[in-house]
Chain A
Amino acid sequence: GESVGLHLPTLSVQEGDNSIINCAYSNSASDYFIWYKQESGKGPQFIIDIRSNMDKRQGQRVTVLLNKTVKHLSLQIAATQPGDSAVYFCAETYPLISGGYNKLIFGAGTRLAVHP
């Protein structure tokens, strides 16, 4: 298997339970956030995004919550399935005062392990 995510925190859940994956972001000026899912040996897959003018956004079986007061982002997965097992990481971006390219900053990730 691939070695990405060897020393990441792991969240273990039972199939059918709800999962909550947390992310603390670094910059209070960040105004756009993305959650990605990365399966072993593959590239990150876009799940859902949210802008800072929102505090909640829902997708199919997923919800992202944003708490700007404490710089915290969470991803909730409803009725977790074995296919949800992967590394999940958040990314943030903030506008540059000087203008120019505002890059995405990625967290290290959390491994989600779903048990039957």
Chain B
Amino acid sequence: DGGITQSPKYLFRKEGQNVTLSCEQNLNHDAMYWYRQDPGQGLRLIYYSQIVNDFQKGDIAEGYSVSREKKESFPLTVTSAQKNPTAFYLCASSILAGGKQPQHFGDGTRLSIL
């Protein structure tokens, strides 16, 4: 089945630790995105990538980093500089970045602080 796979489903971070969230897609989409979702709020864009080896900061990029070495993969690292990392993280992809087309989402990773 084509889709977006995020792992792990649950992740715990200790103080001062970096953690990496995985996102893989087999939809052959060029664009990929990372969002953060907090209770009662809309999704906020962390980073996006329009094509392999390119990525851009979104609205809340501080404390996060990404890479896009392969078309299928867009991992997100939550660094120790992110002081409030507890949230539901969603990865999405679309055929192209922007434009009039939907983004398709994975089932998220819930990150909590130990």
Q: Does A80 contact B (CB under 8 A)?
A: no
Number of interface residues of B (CB under 8 A): 28
Query: Of B42, B92, B100, which one neighbours A107 at CB under 8 angstroms?
Result: B42
CA A103 to CA B35, docked complex, whole Å: 12
Q: How far is the CB of B6 from chain A (nearest CB, A)?
A: 8
Task: Kindly identify, within residues 1 to 51 of chain A, every residue whose CB is under 8 Å from any CB belonging to chain B.
Answer: 2-8, 31-32, 34, 36, 41-46, 49, 51
CA A7 to CA B4, docked complex, whole Å: 28
Task: Kindly identify, within residues 85 to 101 of chain B, every residue whose CB is under 8 Å from any CB belonging to chain A.
Answer: 88, 90, 92, 97-100
Given A2-B110, A4-B88, the answer on whether A93 and B98 have CB atoms closer than 8 Å is yes
| Chain B residue nearest in CB terms to A47 | B102
Query: Of B6, B39, B42, B98, which one neighbours A102 at CB under 8 angstroms?
Result: B98
Cβ contact within 8 Å between B43 and A101:
no
CA A104 to CA B106, docked complex, whole Å: 16
CA A6 to CA B39, docked complex, whole Å: 6
User: What residues of chain B lie closer than 8 Å to A105, measured between beta carbons?
Assistant: 42
| Chain A residue nearest in CB terms to B4 | A43
| Chain A residue nearest in CB terms to B90 | A43
| Chain B residue nearest in CB terms to A90 | B42
Mostly helix, strand, loop or mixed at chain A's interface?
A: loop
Task: Kindly identify, within residues 90 to 106 of chain A, every residue whose CB is under 8 Å from any CB belonging to chain B.
Answer: 93, 100-106
| Chain A residue nearest in CB terms to B86 | A3
**Interface residues in chain B, defined as those with a beta carbon under 8 Å from any beta carbon in chain A:** 4, 6, 37, 39-43, 45, 48, 50, 56, 58, 88, 90, 92, 97-100, 102-108, 110
Using A42-B107, A89-B42 as known contacts, list a sample of 14 further A-B pairs with CB atoms less than 8 Å apart, ordered by residue number in A: A7-B39, A32-B100, A41-B108, A43-B105, A44-B90, A45-B105, A46-B103, A46-B104, A93-B98, A100-B98, A104-B103, A105-B42, A106-B43, A107-B42
